[in-house]
Amino acid sequence: MKRLSLSMTILVSAFMWSACSSGKKHAAKGIATVNDATEEDSEADLEKKQGQKPDNIEKTGPTGALGSGEEADPGESSTAPTIIACSALDTARTYKGFGGVDLKAGRIEKMAPLGDRYRIKPFPALSTEITRVFNNVAPASLAKSAPTFPTSAPRWFVEPIASGITLYTTYRIAYDGGLTISGSHPDMRAAPTPETAEKICGEFMNLAWRRPGTPAELEHCKNVAIMATAAETDVKVRWAHTIASILTSADFIAY
Amino acid sequence: MSKNHKRSHNSGLNRREFIARTSLGAMALGSSGLWAPRVFGAEESAPSKVLAIFLPGGCDGTRLFANTLLATGTGAFGVTPTSGVALNPTETDPANKVTVDVMFNQLNPFAKSHFGVVGVAHGITAHGPAKAAHFTAAGKSGILSLASAMGGSGSIKCAAVGAELPFGPTAAVGGVTVQQINDMQSTIDALGGGVPDPTMPGRDLAAAGIAGSLAMSGGTFEGNPDSLITVASGYKVAQETLKKPKQAFNPEELKAAYNLTSTAVTSMMAKMAAAELMFASGTNVVTIVDGGGAQWDTHGDTTGARARAAFQTRILPALKLFTDRNITETAAFNVHVMIFGDFNRSAPGSDHAGTSSVAVIGPRIKQGSTGNVDAQIRLPAGTAGTDGLWGLMGHLSGGPTVASAVVPAGNPHTRLVKA
């Protein structure tokens, strides 16, 4: 998981590096909120700092069977994840395609408040992430759901978009996986209580989002477990909906 | 329309009855407990629908839909006395004549008698701006403005079927956003029409769960609101869809009708089938963008052979099937199909003209044309731009009130609308 996190961070860093500016020095200026990064930092230094993920991120998430006793307490650490962001737009650069077509035409040129993040995962990424959350066992509905999601041609990338149907389908896959996993988790054998709901919500938020849920987010999740599904008599169904609501949230379907 | 088509369902119901009783009928049952079968021939009572088929790169309207080059005697683009067919041969006004390529003879008589050509004088000869302009009405998205103004109870009012999305403004209009449909089966599942499956979440609880997802996403949206705008709108649509009464659809019927082997929306046939599914589910406007951009940017196609071949192979078979099922005297809905592209091709080199000739086929079209061009591919002076096109679509879909809701100036192509 550490390797994956570091790779992801480096990948995003590399993208930001090139997206902010063409010149290295200028690029360093463009990155404003990378922890304690300075203009003097080398690229390697910067990557090293970005690789220093909060401990709770690395520790979270059940390994092997859920509920192994190694889960991080969501309230244990509130260290915010590292966020990088451009501080300036590079609107001067143009990209011309064949026939002089402006390849930037129609592209949104804005500063994203929290950096170049929260972009919708393409299905291949979403697919592996869902599988990871469910102990590397893909829900049965995952593979057959692939045609629902927009895809790009080989060696091409199209920014995915979401729709009511892709979100419902994501929920359905996550519910399917949740049904399976809830049967093997000791804290999901009984109907949700405020205590178990908080624990499971925190556990899956850490696992899915790679960060702890905020108190408000935990409260929303607990509401699904305790209030919204209260009329349901099948305990597994209640927990499956709770897990599905986390895995259909923007923090999971985007990165 | 074939006899087989009229009675194609196992129940023995004809198409209009089938759709009314499975989709609209289900909705009516949910709300009032009454069946709401449609009255045959009651065009006014049938809901309106618009299918926008866009051919990016530059649809060859001059030789396909506004074959008036014949009158000029230039022979440009291979237009000869035998290459076209006059759909309204008794029309005396040359400007109102509808002469189309002979391939359109394959369409059913009802469709051919409700075939109009709409002139769009946009003055744009660059691909990107022309694409965007054709989907723009009064500065907003034409398809979204239209879908919003048409009203109705569908949770998905505007759908893009297939991988390609429409062009132009994307901001929601009246709360309506474009929802992409890539697979019919998952769409049917979301509509509640799937085969019962214990791994499928209950609709009410799923709606509540997705409401929870939305609530958990508030902080994330602030991080990159532009990137996640479709997620935000998608939650709303998903919840609305799940809160609607179940709608029964049989994907096997659609697959058989359109000769499909799967429910994935990849081919033109599948796109047409998906459009039909979405209309039955309550969608007002569906877009199909043909992915083969290079097919339609027919530079150097001075004989028109490439454009004709592209249309004949890529579009016509599916268009014929769709219109045979949906544009007939007894169709369940008032479906209007529009076929358009970036621009007409200029003469003689088949480059970019600053005009478009858009085909519109549907029950409220009065056969005629405002899109006939001269030998220089110019439209008559005073021809409206893209606002006029969407004003017409509004008029066809709900009368002058809807037209004015789409564009304040309303519909300038009134002669193309049946009284």
pLDDT tens sequence across A139-194: 999 999 999 998 887 888 888 999 999 999 999 999 999 999 998 899 999 999 99
For residue A236, pLDDT beyond 80: yes
What confidence score (pLDDT) does residue B222 get? 82
pLDDT at B160: 98
What's phi and psi for B410, nearest 5 deg? 75, -155
CB B228 within 8 A of CB A118: yes
What length is written for chain B?
419
Residue B395 has pLDDT above 90, yes or no: yes
Residue B360 phi/psi, 5-degree rounding, is -130, 125
User: Is A232 within 8 Å of B205 when comparing Cβ atoms?
Assistant: yes
Residue A107, pLDDT > 80, answer: no
Average pLDDT in chain A: 73
A246 touches chain B (CB under 8 A): yes
Q: Do A166 and B224 touch (CB under 8 A)?
A: no
Q: Quick one: pLDDT at residue B90? A: 93
Query: Percent of chain B at pLDDT above 90?
Result: 68
Instruction: Kindly tell me if the per-residue pLDDT of A90 is higher than 60.
Output: yes
> CA A120, CA B220: separation in Å to the nearest integer?
12
H/E run at residue B52: strand B48-55
- B86 pairs with which residues across the strands? B99
On the question of pLDDT at A106 being above 60, the answer is yes
Vertex B2: Cα angle to B1 and B7 (nearest 5): 105
Q: Which residue has the higher pLDDT, B82 or A243?
A: A243
Mean pLDDT of B40-63: 79
The DSSP code for B362 is S
Please state, as a whole number, how many other Cβ atoms lie within 10 Å of the Cβ of residue A107. 10
CB contact under 8 A, A105 and B128: yes
User: What does the pLDDT look like over B187-202, one tens digit per residue?
Assistant: 999 999 988 899 999 9
In chain B, % helix, strand, coil (3-state, to 5) comes to 40, 15, 40
CB contact, 8 Å: A248 with chain B? yes
CA dist., res. B209 & res. B186, Å (int): 18
Pairing of strands B48-55, B158-161: unpaired
User: Helix, strand, coil shares of chain A as percentages rounded to 5?
Assistant: 50, 0, 45
Contact call for residues A223 and A197 (beta carbons, < 8 A) = no
**C-beta of residue B332 within 8 angstroms of C-beta of residue B20:** yes
DSSP 8-state symbol, A92:
S
Q: For residue range B319-360, what is the model confidence (pLDDT) as tens digits?
A: 999 999 999 999 999 999 999 999 999 888 889 999 999 999
Q: CB of A64 within 8 Å of any CB in chain B?
A: no
Tokens, residue B278: 């979405």
Pairs across A and B, CB distance < 8 A: 203
pTM to 2 decimal places: 0.81
Quote the pLDDT of residue A51: 37
The partner residues of B181 in beta bridges, in order of sequence, read B161
Please report which confidence band the pLDDT of residue A77 belongs to, taking 50, 70 and 90 as the band edges: very low
